[in-house]
Amino acid sequence: MASTIKGTIVIEVDRCKGCELCTTVCPQDILHMGRGRFNARGYRPVELVDPTGKCTGCALCALICPDVVLSVYRYDARRAPGA
């Protein structure tokens, strides 16, 4: 039975320094360095590539991020009102 917990992250793009640490810990492998896009500080920021909603909001990415770039949200369908 597929997980009923879904998550997502919000990336403060201009805070990212492109250190790539989050991409090394994401269990779903849905975090990748952006191609050809630079942020205000000239770094290539990380991007969430999650078309099929694999993210579970485990927050391992936020845990390892040295620059508090990532906020993590989680939605649990079982507790969702009127689901």
Partner 1 sequence: MTDNRPINGPDNIISPEQIIAQGEVVYQRPDALSDAQTHYCPGCTHGIIHRLIGEAIDELGIQGKTIMVAPVGCSVLMYYYFDVDGVEAAHGRAPAMATGLKRTQPDKIVFTYQGDGDLASIGAAEILHAANRGENISVFFVNNAVYGMTSGQMAPTSLPGQITTSSPLGRDVKVHGFPMRMAEIIAGLPGAAYVVRRSVYDARTIRQAKKAVLTAFKTQQAGLGMSMVEFLSSCPTNWHMSPAESLTWIRDTMVPYYPLGDFKVAEEVKALG
Exactly one of 1, 35, 36, 42 binds partner 1 (CB under 8 A); which one?
Answer: 1
- Contact in structure between 6 and 77 (CB atoms under 8 Å): yes
* Cα Rg of the chain, angstroms: 14
Site string for partner 1, 2-41 (x = CB under 8 A): xxx-xxx-x---xx-xxxxx--xx---------------x
Query: What phi and psi values does residue 76 have, to the nearest 5 degrees?
Result: -110, 110
* Contact code string over 40-59 relative to partner 1, x by CB under 8 A: -x-x------x-xx---x-x
CB crowding 6-32: b at 16 or more within 10 Å, else e: bbebebebebbbebeebbeebebebbe
Site residues (vs partner 1, CB under 8 A): 1-4, 6-8, 10, 14-15, 17-21, 24-25, 41, 43, 50, 52-53, 57, 59-60, 62-68, 70-78, 80, 83
